[in-house]
Structure 1
Amino acid sequence: MTAFITQTLGSYIAEEALARVPGDVIDKGKLCLLDSLGCLFGGHKLPMAGMLEVLRTDSQVAPAFVKATLINALDFDDIYEKGHPGATVIAAALSVAEHMKSSGTEFLEAVIIGYEVSCRVGISLAHVQPRKAIHGHGTWQTFGAAAAAARLMRLDAGRAAHAIAIAAANAPVASVMKTVYGDTPSMAKNNFGMAAQMGVLAARLAAAGYEGPLDVFEGEMGFWRMAGADECRFDKLTKGLGASYEILRVGFKPFSCCRLIQSSVQASRDVVRMAGIDPADGLHAKLVVTAPPIVCEPPFSKVRPRDMWAAQFSAPHAIAMAVFGVESGPDWFVDDWLHDEIAGRFQDSIELRPHTSHASPRGAHAASAWLQLRDGQSFERHVDVAEGEASNPMPKSALEGKFLRLASPVLGDSGACEAMDNVYALDKAGSLRTLLRLLVS
Structure 2
Amino acid sequence: MYEHVTERLVDFALKVQFRDLPQEAVDKIKLMLLDSIGCALGAYVTDRAKLALAFAEESGGNPQASIIGGHRTSYDHAAFVNGELITALDYDILGPIGGGHVAPFVTSPCLAMAEKAHVSGEEFLTALLLAHEMGGRFLSSLAGHRGPKDEPPYYEERLQFSHGYSFFGGVIGACKLLGLDAGKTRHAFGIAGASAPVPAGQKWEFIDGPAIMTKFNAWCGWASELATVATLLAEKGFTGDTTILDGERGFWRIVGSPTFNMDTLFGKLGEVWLEKLAFKRYPVCGHNRRGIEGIKSIMQEHEIMPEEIEEIVVKADRFMLTPNRLMTQVKSFADMQYSNVNIFAVAAYYGDRPSPAWQTPIVYNDPRVKALVQKIKVEVHPQSDEVVAEALKAGKAIEVPDIVEIKAKGRTFVHQTTEARKGTSANPMTKAELVDKFMINASYSPIASDQSQEIVQTIDELEKLSDICQLTRLLSIG
Smaller-chain TM-score bracket: over 0.9
State the distance in 1 between where 2:104 and 2:322 align: 27
State the distance in 2 between where 1:353 and 1:155 align: 52
Q: 1:328 to 1:402 in 2, by over 3 A?
A: same
- Equivalent in the alignment of 1:131: 157
Q: Bigger CA drift: 264-273 or 13-22?
A: 264-273
Selected match of 2:279 from 241, 249, 252: 252
Native 8 Å contact 2:79 2:228 kept in 1: yes
Native 8 Å contact 1:183 1:299 kept in 2: yes
Native 8 Å contact 2:48 2:84 kept in 1: no
1:380 maps to 2:415: yes
Selected match of 1:370 from 378, 392, 405: 405
- Equivalent in the alignment of 1:175: 200
Shift of 1:242: 1.9
Q: Over residues 325-345 of structure 1, what are the superposed CA-to-partner deviations in whole Å (9 max), with x where a residue is unaligned?
A: 263232111112222222122
Q: Over residues 132-191 of structure 1, what are the superposed CA-to-partner deviations in whole Å (9 max), with x where a residue is unaligned?
A: 3333111x1220211111011111122222222322222111222334542332111131
State the distance in 2 between where 1:433 and 1:204 align: 19
The code of the aligned residue for 2:326 comes to: S
State the distance in 1 between where 2:119 and 2:462 align: 11
Q: Over residues 237-275 of structure 1, what are the superposed CA-to-partner deviations in whole Å (9 max), with x where a residue is unaligned?
A: 223222222x23222100111112211121122222222
Shift of 1:285: 2.2
Native 8 Å contact 2:119 2:177 kept in 1: yes
Aligned length in residues:
436
State the distance in 2 between where 1:402 and 1:155 align: 36
SS in structure 1 of the partner of residue 377 of structure 2 = strand
Q: 1:68 to 1:334 in 2, by over 3 A?
A: same
Native 8 Å contact 1:10 1:164 kept in 2: no
1:191 maps to 2:219: yes
Shift of 1:381: 4.0
The code of the aligned residue for 1:333 comes to: Q
SS in structure 2 of the partner of residue 312 of structure 1 = helix
SS in structure 2 of the partner of residue 286 of structure 1 = strand
Selected match of 1:399 from 405, 418, 434: 434
1:141 maps to 2:174: no
Computed over aligned residues only, the root mean square deviation of the Cα atoms, in angstroms, reads 2.0
Selected match of 1:334 from 360, 366, 371: 360
Native 8 Å contact 2:143 2:161 kept in 1: no
Shift of 1:400: 1.0
State the distance in 2 between where 1:155 and 1:69 align: 26
State the distance in 2 between where 1:137 and 1:413 align: 33
- Equivalent in the alignment of 1:48: 48
Native 8 Å contact 1:11 1:160 kept in 2: no
1:92 maps to 2:109: yes
The code of the aligned residue for 1:238 comes to: F
TM-score, L = length of structure 1 = 0.93
Q: 1:261 to 1:82 in 2, by over 3 A?
A: same
- Equivalent in the alignment of 1:221: 249
Return 5+ residue gaps in structure 1 as ranges.
none
| Overall identity of the aligned pairs, in % | 27
State the distance in 2 between where 1:302 and 1:269 align: 22
- Equivalent in the alignment of 2:238: 210
Return 5+ residue gaps in structure 2 as ranges.
63-73, 148-154, 392-397
Selected match of 2:454 from 410, 418, 434: 418
Q: 1:302 to 1:275 in 2, by over 3 A?
A: farther
Q: Bigger CA drift: 371-380 or 155-164?
A: 371-380
Q: 1:31 to 1:174 in 2, by over 3 A?
A: same
Shift of 1:220: 2.6
The code of the aligned residue for 2:249 comes to: M
Q: Over residues 42-65 of structure 1, what are the superposed CA-to-partner deviations in whole Å (9 max), with x where a residue is unaligned?
A: 112333333223224332111111
Selected match of 1:62 from 56, 59, 77: 77
Selected match of 2:328 from 299, 303, 307: 303
Selected match of 2:121 from 101, 104, 123: 104
Native 8 Å contact 1:365 1:384 kept in 2: no
1:322 maps to 2:358: no
Runs of 4+ with deviation above 6 angstroms: none
State the distance in 1 between where 2:205 and 2:463 align: 37
Q: Bigger CA drift: 344-353 or 106-115?
A: 344-353
Shift of 1:203: 1.2
The code of the aligned residue for 1:239 comes to: G
- Equivalent in the alignment of 1:272: 299
Shift of 1:82: 3.9
Shift of 1:228: 2.5
Q: 1:181 to 1:427 in 2, by over 3 A?
A: farther
